[in-house]
Chains A and B, each alone.
Chain A
Amino acid sequence: MNKIFALAGVVIKELYRRKDFYVLFVLTALITVGAGMANFFHDDKIVRYVKDLCLLLIWVSALVIAIVTTSRQIPAEREARTIFPLLAKPVSRGQVIVGKFLGCWLATGVALLVFYVFFAIIIGSKEQHWPVLIYLQAAWMQWLMLAIVIGMVLLGSIYFAAPSSTSTISFVVVVGILLLGGHLNVIALQQPEPMQTLLAVIYYGMPHLEWYDLRDFVVYNLGSASLLATLLATLYAALWTGIFLFLAWLGFHRKSLTT
C-alpha cells in the first residue's frame, strides 16, 4: 500500500506544481464573484443564478482537471521515459495503475474541496444560510462521479497513446452521458429496431454519471438525498471504477515497453 501512496503522492505533487488548477480556480472565482456582484433587474432570487453558475463552473473545472490530469499520466510517463526507472523498481504494473488512479482522484478531491469551500463562502455570505450537509453530499457525489471518470480515462490512456486523443474522447463520452444518459431509455422507445435495442443496451450498460448530479438540490435548497441512495451510489461508483481499473490493468500488465 505504501508503494501506491508513494505513486499517488507524485501525481498530487505534479498537479499542484502545474498551473491548470490555479487557472481554473481563478477563472471560477472571478466569474462567480463577478456574477454575485451584479444585480440584474433587481431580482431578489439572483443568488439562485449565482449558485447555478458557480456549480456549473465547478463541474466543468473538476471534469477538466480530472480528465486532463488522468489522460496524461501513463502516456507522459512513456513519452518522458520515466516509466523505465520506475518499473525497474519492485513495483507491479497493477500498483502503478492504482497509484495513478488514487493520485488523480485525491488531487481532484482536493481541488473540489477548494471549489466547494469557495462556493459555500460566496453563497453563505449572500444567503446567510449554511446548509453544510447538502454541500458535503453534493461534493461527495461529484467526487464519486469523478472516480468513475478517472477510471475510464485511465483505461483510455492505456490504449490511446496521445493524451489529447484520450482527453477529447473522454470529454465527448462524459458530456454525452451527463446530457443524454438519463434520457436514453426514453429515446430508445421512440426508435425503430435495431436502434431501439442498441440504445437500450447502451442505457443499461453504461455508467450513469448523471445520477451524481445534485446541483438542483443545492440551487433550490431541496434538502439532502437519502442516506441509502448515497450508499448505493457509492457502491455503484466503486463497482464501475473497479471495472475500469481492472480493464486498464489487463491492457497494461502484458504491454511491451521498449526503451
Chain B
Amino acid sequence: MNYVAVRQGFFFNIARFQSAQPARPCVAIMSTILKTEKLRVEYRSREFRQAAKVALNALDLEVHAGEVFGFLGPNGAGKTTTMNVLLGFVPPSGGTASLFGIDVREPIARQRIGYLPELTYYYKFLTAEELLRFYAKIFGIARREAEQRIAALLKLVELEHAARRPIKSYSKGMQQRVGLAQALINNPDLLILDEPTSGLDPLGRMKVREIIQRLKNEGKTVFFSSHELGEVETVCDRVAIVHQGELKAVGSVAEISAGHDNLEKAFLKIVGFQTASPT
C-alpha cells in the first residue's frame, strides 16, 4: 500500500468514525461555546525590579457552536497564552474565560473538549491501547463503551496492528495519529487544535483541512491556531487576529479581507507590517 493510499484510507475512516458517533442534542445553534472577557495574563519576571510582561490584555472573544474559528497572530502575539488559559495550564491574571459557560479553572469545563497539541506528548512506555484506555478513564467513560471507542479509534487511525506496542516504538506519523485518537476519545463537541498542520507535508495539510471541514459538518466546533493563512482562509467561518496581546480584528474571512487582495495582506496590514515599496 503506498503512502497516499494509506493516508486516504486513514482520513476516510475519520469521516466514517465521526458519523457513527451519537450526536449530542444539547449544543444549540449559535450558542457560545468559548468565551473570554477582558482576559489578561501577566508573566512575572524573575529579575529583580523587572516589570511583569503582559502577554494578553483585555481579550474579548466568542466562539459559537458549530463554527470553525481560526486564531491568528504573529509569534509572541498571545495565541499560545490564550490556549494555555483555555486549557487550564495558566491561570488568568484578570478577566474571565469559559468553555460551555463553565469557568476554565474548573476541570469539568474540559469534559467536552478534545485537544491536539502541536507536537506529540504521550507516555512512551504505554501502548496506544493503554493510553486511550487511560484517557477514557479520566473522562469517566464506562468500560464497555471505552473499549468500543478504543477499537473504533485505533481502526480509524490505522493503528490496530500496533495497538499493543509501546508508543516509543512508533514512527513520528504514528505518534501523531495516536494524538488524534486521544483528542477524539470523548467524542468532543469542541476541538482545540494548536497549529495542527505544523510540520506536515502538503498532502497532510490538505487532509487536516478535510478533517476540520468534516468535523464542522458533524456540528463540532473547532478552534485552532495557525500561521497558514491560506488554510485558514479555506476552512474558517470566522477568524480573530491578535497582536501584542490584544485583539486587533475579529470577523468572517470576507469581512477581515475586505479592501485587501486576500487574508494574508489584510493580516500584514492589521499587525502593522510594512511591505517594501517597489523602487
Which A residues fall within an 8 A CB radius of B?
2-3, 5-7, 9-10, 13-14, 17-18, 80-82, 84-92, 95, 254, 256-259
Cβ of B12 under 8 Å from chain A? no
Is there an interface contact between B121 and A256, defined as CB atoms closer than 8 Å? Answer: no
Which B residues fall within an 8 A CB radius of A?
43, 80-81, 83-84, 87-91, 107-111, 113, 115, 117-119, 121-126, 130, 134-135, 137-140, 166, 179, 182, 192, 194
Contacts A10-B126, A13-B125, A84-B121 known; A91 to B194 CB distance under 8 Å?
A: no
Is there an interface contact between B137 and A6, defined as CB atoms closer than 8 Å? Answer: yes
Contacts A2-B140, A3-B138, A13-B126 known; A87 to B91 CB distance under 8 Å?
A: no
30 A-B pairs in the complex with CB atoms less than 8 angstroms apart: A3-B140, A5-B137, A6-B137, A10-B123, A10-B134, A13-B125, A18-B125, A80-B121, A82-B122, A84-B87, A84-B89, A85-B179, A87-B88, A88-B87, A88-B88, A88-B110, A88-B113, A88-B192, A90-B109, A90-B139, A91-B138, A254-B91, A256-B43, A256-B89, A257-B89, A258-B80, A258-B84, A258-B90, A259-B83, A259-B89
- Measured CA separation A229–B179 after assembly (Å): 51
The residue in chain A whose Cβ has the minimal distance to the Cβ of B166 is A17
- Measured CA separation A85–B114 after assembly (Å): 9
Is there an interface contact between A87 and B89, defined as CB atoms closer than 8 Å? Answer: yes
Is there an interface contact between A85 and B134, defined as CB atoms closer than 8 Å? Answer: no
CB distance from A1 to the nearest CB of B (A): 11
CB distance from B157 to the nearest CB of A (A): 15
- Measured CA separation A13–B123 after assembly (Å): 10
Is there an interface contact between B115 and A259, defined as CB atoms closer than 8 Å? Answer: no
CB distance from A97 to the nearest CB of B (A): 13
Q: Determine the chain B residues whose CB is within 8 A of the CB of A2 once the complex forms.
A: 137, 140
Is there an interface contact between B138 and A256, defined as CB atoms closer than 8 Å? Answer: no
Is there an interface contact between A259 and B117, defined as CB atoms closer than 8 Å? Answer: yes
Q: Determine the chain B residues whose CB is within 8 A of the CB of A85 once the complex forms.
A: 115, 117, 121-122, 135, 179, 182
The residue in chain B whose Cβ has the minimal distance to the Cβ of A88 is B115
CB distance from B111 to the nearest CB of A (A): 4
Which of B87, B90, B111 is within 8 Å of A256, CB to CB?
A: B90
The residue in chain A whose Cβ has the minimal distance to the Cβ of B119 is A81
CB distance from B232 to the nearest CB of A (A): 20
The residue in chain A whose Cβ has the minimal distance to the Cβ of B122 is A82
Q: Determine the chain A residues whose CB is within 8 A of the CB of B166 once the complex forms.
A: 17
The residue in chain A whose Cβ has the minimal distance to the Cβ of B118 is A259
In the A-B complex, the 9 residue pairs with the smallest Cβ-Cβ separation, listed nearest first, are: A6-B137, A88-B115, A81-B121, A257-B89, A90-B111, A92-B107, A89-B138, A256-B90, A90-B107
CB distance from A7 to the nearest CB of B (A): 8
The residue in chain B whose Cβ has the minimal distance to the Cβ of A80 is B121
Contacts A14-B125, A84-B121 known; A89 to B139 CB distance under 8 Å?
A: yes
- Measured CA separation A9–B29 after assembly (Å): 40
- Measured CA separation A51–B118 after assembly (Å): 54
Is there an interface contact between B91 and A256, defined as CB atoms closer than 8 Å? Answer: yes
Q: Determine the chain A residues whose CB is within 8 A of the CB of B130 once the complex forms.
A: 13
Q: Determine the chain B residues whose CB is within 8 A of the CB of A84 once the complex forms.
A: 87, 89, 115, 117, 121
4 extra interface residue pairs, beta carbon distance < 8 Å, beyond A89-B139, A90-B109: A80-B121, A84-B87, A85-B117, A256-B84
The interface centre, meaning the residue of A5, A14, A17, A84 with most chain B CB atoms within 10 A of its CB, is A84
Contacts A13-B125, A14-B125, A259-B83 known; A90 to B90 CB distance under 8 Å?
A: no
The residue in chain B whose Cβ has the minimal distance to the Cβ of A89 is B138
